[in-house]
Amino acid sequence: MNAFRAGNRQFPHALTLQIPLVAALACFLSAPGLAQSDPAEPPQAHPAPKLLARPGRPVARQEVDEKSMRALIEQLVACGTRHSLSSWGDPARGAGCARDHILARLQEINKQSGEKLKIVNDKFETTGPRTGNKPVPMENIYAVLAGSDPALAKTVFIVSGHFDSRNSDPLDPTMDAPGADDDASGVAVSMECARLLSRAGAAGHGPYRATLLFAAISGEEQGLLGSSRMLEWVQQQGYTIGGMLDNDIVGSDPAAGAPHRVRLFSGSGEMDDSDSPSRELARAIEEIAGETNIRMIFNVDRLGRGGDHYVFYKAGQPGVRFTEPLEDYRHQHQTLRTENGVEYGDQMKYLNFTFMGNVARDNAEALRQLSLAPAPPSQLKLSGGVTPDAKLDWTAPEDPERAGFEILWRETTSPRWRVYDFPAATAEFVLKSVSTDNHFFAVRSVGKNGARSVAVPTDTGRRLPPGRQ
C-alpha cells in the first residue's frame, strides 16, 4: 500500500525515468513543481495515516505446481474434443472425458486438503442459438471451500475456467478441438487455486473468512451457457457474490521478453463512470497482485469477443477476465491444419508454464486476501456539495475483526485509488477543505489482519444525458 503511488504518476513518464524515485517523491511532497498550477487540496496538512500491512504469508510463486497444471491440460487435450455437444458418456473422448479428469484431479486435491472441499457435479439442461435452440444436457464442476466466519461465509469469491473447446466450426462436436489454451489453461489455473488455498497443515493458508468456489464449467463456446447456470446456482444457494475471476486463454505468452503481465479486463458500467463493481474488483486485484503482474484493461472484453465473466457483469455483479498479453489467433478456435506452412490449432506446445504459473499465483493471492477481508461498506453517500468540505457516510455490519475503514480518493482522470485517511470504526467522515467535485471517493473495510475489502465508490451524482432517463 502506497498512498503516494498514484501521486507519483502525475509526473510525465519521461521525467520519472530521468529522476531517481526519491528525488521525484521529494519533489512531489515539497509541492512546488508540476502539479502546482492547481490550488492545494486540502490547503494545509494532508492526512498521513499509518496503514496496516497486508496479511502475511502470501501465496509464493514457488508453491505453484506447474507439473500438475501441465498434467491436467495434457489429459484434457487427450480427450480429443471437449465440445459441449459431444459425448458426456464416453470416458475416452468428449466433454464427459474432460469432466472425469477434472473430478479426479479435484478428488486428489481434496485428499491433500483433509477433505475440506465440497465437490459438486452440477448437471443441467440448457438451450441457445448454438444448441440449435434445443435443450441439451451440460455439466459444471464446483469445488466449494466454506468460509470460517458465519456471516462472511455467505459471500463467495469464484475463480473459473471453461473446459469446453471448439474448432473452426462452433457447432462441430466431432472433429478434434484440443483447446490447450482456450481454455484448459483457465481450468488448470482454477484447479491450482483450489490446491493452493485448500492445503491442510503447515503448508496451508486458511482459514478464510468468506467462501471460495473453484469452478470448471462448460458451454462457454455455445453462448456462455455454463456461466449463466453457475450464476443461477450460486444465487440459489443464497450466496452474495464477492467477485468472479474468469480465467480464459491464460496459457500462452509468445512475445519476446516473457513472462509478461496478464491482462485483466473489467467493464466500465452503464454510466461509463469507471466505477462499476467489476472495475472495483479489478482495482482490488491489481493492488493485491501488483502493477508489475497485472495490466488492467478498462474494457469489458476484447473487441467482438465474450467470456464467462460477462454473465456476471451484465447482472451487475463483480466479474473480471484474465487473458494472456498477446493472443495468437492462429491458435484459437481453429481446426488443426497446416496451410501455406502456417500451423493452425490450439496445441500444448504453444503454452508457457512460467507465465501460467504466475497467473495461478496472482489469482490465488487475490482470492486469499479478498476472502480474509471484512464485508465492504454499503449505502455509501457523498454530501457537502456547495460547501467547503466533502462528507462521506456509510453503513457496515458489526465485525470485531475489522480495524477500520480506508477513505479512498483519486483524481477523476486517474485509474487508481489512493488512501486519504484511515479512521478507526466510524460510519461518517469529513474531508476538511476538500471539494466534492475534483475527486472521486470510495471507502473500503480493513481487517485487523490487514486484508482490504473491495472498494465501494460513492454515487458521483453524474447525470444521464437528456433522453436517457
Q: Per CB under 5 A, which region of 145-153, 198-206, 244-252, 365-373 contacts Zn ion?
A: 244-252
Residue of 149, 164, 176, 182 that binds Zn ion (CB under 5 A) = 182
DSSP 210-276: SEEEEEEE--STTTSHHHHHHHHHHHHTT-EEEEEEEE-S-S---STT-S-PEEEE----TT--S--
* CA distances in angstroms from 165 to 76, 87, 92, 227, listed in the order given: 10, 13, 15, 15
Give Cβ neighbours of residue 282 (< 8 Å, ≥ 6 apart): 264, 265, 266, 296, 320
Residue 29 to residue 25: CA distance in whole angstroms: 6
Strand partners, 350: none
> Cβ 78 to Zn ion, closest distance in Å?
19
CA 356 to chain CA centroid, Å, is 15
Which residue, 248 or 280, has its beta carbon nearer to Zn ion? 248
Cβ atoms of 148 and 209 closer than 8 Å: yes
> Cβ 247 to Zn ion, closest distance in Å?
9
Which residue, 162 or 195, has its beta carbon nearer to Zn ion? 162
For the chain, how many residues are written?
469
Residue 368 to residue 161: CA distance in whole angstroms: 18
Which residue, 155 or 160, has its beta carbon nearer to Zn ion? 160
Cβ atoms of 433 and 448 closer than 8 Å: no
Q: What is the dihedral of CA 80, 81, 85, 91, to 10 degrees?
A: 40
> Cβ 350 to Zn ion, closest distance in Å?
15
* CA distances in angstroms from 437 to 121, 145, 148, 390, 459, listed in the order given: 50, 43, 41, 9, 12
Q: Per CB under 5 A, which region of 114-122, 181-189, 202-210, 326-334 contacts Zn ion?
A: 181-189
Residue 386 to residue 138: CA distance in whole angstroms: 56
Sign of the torsion formed by the C-alpha atoms of 100, 104, 105 and 109: positive
Residue 362 to residue 383: CA distance in whole angstroms: 37
Which residue, 227 or 358, has its beta carbon nearer to Zn ion? 227
Does residue 275 interact with Zn ion by CB under 5 A? no
Total number of residues that touch Zn ion (CB under 5 A): 3
Does residue 183 interact with Zn ion by CB under 5 A? yes
Cell, residue 164: 469446453
> Cβ 307 to Zn ion, closest distance in Å?
6
Which residue, 220 or 275, has its beta carbon nearer to Zn ion? 220
Q: Per CB under 5 A, which region of 36-44, 243-251, 365-373, 390-398 contacts Zn ion?
A: 243-251
Task: Map residues 69-108 to x or -, x wherever contact with Zn ion holds by CB under 5 A.
Answer: ----------------------------------------
Cβ atoms of 160 and 246 closer than 8 Å: yes
Q: Per CB under 5 A, which region of 33-41, 117-125, 246-254, 400-408 contacts Zn ion?
A: 246-254
Give φ, ψ of 375 to 5 degrees: -60, 145
Which residue, 248 or 287, has its beta carbon nearer to Zn ion? 248
> Cβ 162 to Zn ion, closest distance in Å?
6
Does residue 301 interact with Zn ion by CB under 5 A? no
Which residue, 183 or 362, has its beta carbon nearer to Zn ion? 183
Q: Per CB under 5 A, which region of 241-249, 263-271, 431-439, 444-452 contacts Zn ion?
A: 241-249
Which residue, 182 or 192, has its beta carbon nearer to Zn ion? 182
Task: Map residues 9-38 to x or -, x wherever contact with Zn ion holds by CB under 5 A.
Answer: ------------------------------
Q: Per CB under 5 A, which region of 79-87, 111-119, 207-215, 247-255 contacts Zn ion?
A: 247-255
Which residue, 149 or 182, has its beta carbon nearer to Zn ion? 182
Task: Map residues 127-166 to x or -, x wherever contact with Zn ion holds by CB under 5 A.
Answer: ----------------------------------------
Between helix 66-77 and helix 95-112 the angle, nearest 10°, is 160
> Cβ 277 to Zn ion, closest distance in Å?
23
> Cβ 107 to Zn ion, closest distance in Å?
25
Residue 260 to residue 325: CA distance in whole angstroms: 7
- Parallel, antiparallel, or unpaired: how do β-strands 155-162 and 240-247 relate? parallel
Report the number of secondary-structure helices (H) and strands (E) in the chain: 10, 17
Which residue, 166 or 361, has its beta carbon nearer to Zn ion? 166
Cell, residue 126: 440448457
Residue of 248, 275, 280, 286 that binds Zn ion (CB under 5 A) = 248
> Cβ 150 to Zn ion, closest distance in Å?
36
Residues that bind Zn ion (CB under 5 A): 182-183, 248
